[in-house]
Each structure stands twice: as C-alpha cells, then as structure tokens.
Amino acid sequence: LKQWCADQGELLPSVEKLILHLLTEKEQKNPDPGCGWAEPEKYGSALLSLVEDNAYAQMQVLWAIQKYCDTLGFPKLNDEYVVQSMFRAMYKYDLAEAGAFDEWKEDESKENSRGKMKAVIQTIDWFNWLEADDDEDDEEYEEEEE
C-alpha cells in the first residue's frame, strides 16, 4: 500500500486532508477521544503505511486533529480536552512519534495557525508526560550502555 501510494504521487490528497475528511465526515460533531478509527483493523494500518518513518506526514495527522478540534470549539469530554485525548491516541497507534509532536509544537507556519494556540494550551499535560517518558527512555538507554 505504501508503495502504491507513493506511485500515485500528486493524485492522492495529503495525509492531513485524508484525516480531516475522515474526522469531519465520520466523526462529525461527535468526536471519539480514543480515536477508534485509528485502530489497526479500521483505518490505522492504512494510515500507518502513509506516515511510518515520515515526521512531516505525522505532523499532518496532528494538524488535521488541531483543525478538526478547532471546528468543534475545542471541547472537553470526560474531564479531558478532546485534542489531548486524540494526540495520546495518535501516539498509541504510532501515527505520530515523539519527534513529530515536538515539531508540530514548534511549527509557526501561517497555514497551520488556525486553532494552534488553543491546541498547545490544551495539550500541555500531554507534552509534559511525553517529555517525562522521553527522559525515562534516555535513562534506560544510558543504563544499557554501561
């Protein structure tokens, strides 16, 4: 699938457009904070083939979630912001790796500014967890080297 998508080149929409369409058409105004649509047996395996080892494509996934949550007014469900829950799910399903989250956070491009500040504010806890998890991984790596 990955090779087929690469062969199609410009004929296929961007990963961002695919995810945003999926969210706006399937989820509409009822977001699934756990992103059941990203499970491997649903759309997850196909999406993973498009974003695996590609930080920019992974950022497109995050931009789509940011823009989708912006259209909903950045809701909160079950005492957690939907954008944060969805980001956690993207990490769980390997559709965005730690580096892509960092690059998304640092991105200041005009075309991806809609809803960005609100998304960053609502994902502070997620980024704190991600940083702590990354620090733990670094410590484990250092112990293995010794």
- Model confidence pLDDT, tens digit, residues 110-123: 999 999 999 999 99
Q: pLDDT value at position 1?
A: 55
Distance CA 81, CA 73 (A): 11
pTM: 0.86
Taking the CB of residue 115, how many other CB atoms lie within 10 A of it?
21
Give the angle subtended at the CA of 93 by the CAs of 3 and 88, to the nearest 5°.
135
Mean pLDDT of 127-141: 74
Q: pLDDT value at position 40?
A: 92
User: Over the chain, what is the mean pLDDT?
Assistant: 88
* Contact between residue 55 and residue 100 where contact means Cβ atoms under 8 Å apart: yes
* Contact between residue 38 and residue 89 where contact means Cβ atoms under 8 Å apart: yes
CB hemisphere CA count around 65 (13 angstroms)? 32
- Model confidence pLDDT, tens digit, residues 26-76: 888 889 999 999 999 998 988 998 899 999 999 999 999 999 999 999 999
Q: CA-based Rg of the chain, rounded to a whole angstrom?
A: 16
**Strand blocks (E) in 60-142:** 76-77, 80-81
- Residue predicted with more confidence, 11 or 97: 97
pLDDT beyond 90 at 93: yes
Distance CA 38, CA 140 (A): 29
Cα four-point dihedral sign 13, 21, 85, 73: positive
pLDDT beyond 90 at 124: yes
Mean pLDDT of 90-101: 96
